Amino acid sequence: MSASPRRNRAIAALAVVPVSVLLAGGLVWQSSYAAFSARTENSGNSWSTGRVALSDDDRGAAAVTVENMVPGDTGSKCIVVTSNSNVPGEVRTYVEDLLADRGLENRIQITIESGTGGTFNDCTGFIPEADGATGTLAQLATADTDWASGANSWDTTGTPGESRTYRATWTFDTTGMTQAEIDALQGARTGLDVVWELQTTDN
């Protein structure tokens, strides 16, 4: 029983020796190591989001306001939409908030074209560049309901100040209606909101 503790101590002492040697060797290697070195650095990297902004020249007024219409009346109004975005995108036109009244929304034919020239409420000098959305107010309210289904696509480059003119041409069309049906529309009122929305596109 008395020999066992001494054997344990001896083993422990022998185990310490290699560790001490290894540590000493490591210190010697570190103190004698040297090398050439060089580095370069690219600093100041950052990420920021782009900005999209869209406005028009309506100054808070509706582009089309027609009172006291009679069958066969027609007219055109223009509005200029400007992109102040600094990233590329696509503008599309759609409608929302249709006001339905006795079917008058089915009798107002409208075509919305895009092009250049003209100003708010004045289409002088307007030059269409592509076929636009066309149909009755009710049809447009069903077909063009958001950006995904919108019409009059316009690709912007991301240069602030880009603009496009839109011309809305409307007609109160009573073709095929009886006199009684036409008379039933007296005093009716319809309307909708036209929306231009810009969404960014892949670079």
For residue 54, give Cα distances in angstroms to 19, 30, 161. 73, 65, 10
Give the separation between CA 54 and CA 85, rounded to whole angstroms.
Answer: 7
Give the domain ranges of the chain: 1-33, 54-200
> Is pLDDT above 90 for 81?
yes
pLDDT-derived band of residue 38, with 50, 70 and 90 as boundaries?
confident
> Is pLDDT above 60 for 32?
no
For residue 124, give Cα distances in angstroms to 8, 79, 151. 108, 11, 23
For the segment 129-145, the average pLDDT, to the nearest whole number, is 91
- DSSP lists the bridge partners of residue 93 as 151, 196
* Backbone phi and psi for residue 97, each to the nearest 5 degrees, phi listed first: 60, 50
How much is the mean pLDDT over the chain? 82
Give residue-wise pLDDT tens across range 85-129. Answer: 999 999 999 999 999 999 999 999 999 999 999 999 899 999 999
pTM higher than 0.85? no
CB–CB of 167/115 below 8 Å? yes
67-76 LR contacts (CB < 8 Å, sep 24+)? 69/172, 70/172, 71/172, 71/173, 71/174, 71/182, 72/171, 72/172, 72/173, 72/174, 73/171, 73/172, 74/169, 74/170, 74/171, 74/172, 75/169, 75/170, 76/123, 76/167, 76/168, 76/169, 76/170
